[in-house]
Structure 1
Amino acid sequence: MNKENFDPVHLKITDMRICVVGSNFDYPIIRIDTNQGVYGLGEVRDAGRKESALKYKAKLLGKNPTNINGLFRMMEPYAGHGRQSGGISGIEMAL
């Protein structure tokens, strides 16, 4: 990333990928990429299912990751409770 070309106002989410790290449980790790080469990492909490995060991918693409509160409010109604909300937790970390 070139700091001279970094413009938070025009930052957009371009991809969200997940890999699973196997240990005593499977730990889904989220990577959110942007159009300016900035990325963030997060972990789906409580060794939750990767699908609990991936279901938000289409809703996040094209959005500005600096609008964390707005993105959280957009996802929250679909979250469920307990481990079902682990995807949002990981996404929030990655933002």
Structure 2
Amino acid sequence: MDKSSYAGSPADKRLRRILDSNVGLCREDAIWALDYIRKKVADGAPAMQGLPQPRLMKNYQSFAEAAMSLLLSQRSGPMEAERLRKMLREALHGLIPD
């Protein structure tokens, strides 16, 4: 994904960059993404209200796993970054276009 494909609002651009496997993932970006999700849920984002309960549970599970991973893991390599990206992608389901 090249930089020109980061279309949309500044938040959308940052989320797409965070989820891009070709770009390094830092702890601060992962924390920012989790905070973005937290704010959207707290604000009652319409995109989340239309999701069925099993999907919401999957979003929550992935959100919690990503948060715990950041708290507990001292590892920070490419495999860990991809695992964290996968969790963030699942947690963001419905909040950003595929």
Is the pair's TM-score, using the shorter chain for normalization, greater than 0.5?
A: no
The answer to which structure has the higher strand fraction is 1
The answer to which structure has the higher helix fraction is 2
TM-score for the superposition, normalised by structure 2: 0.28
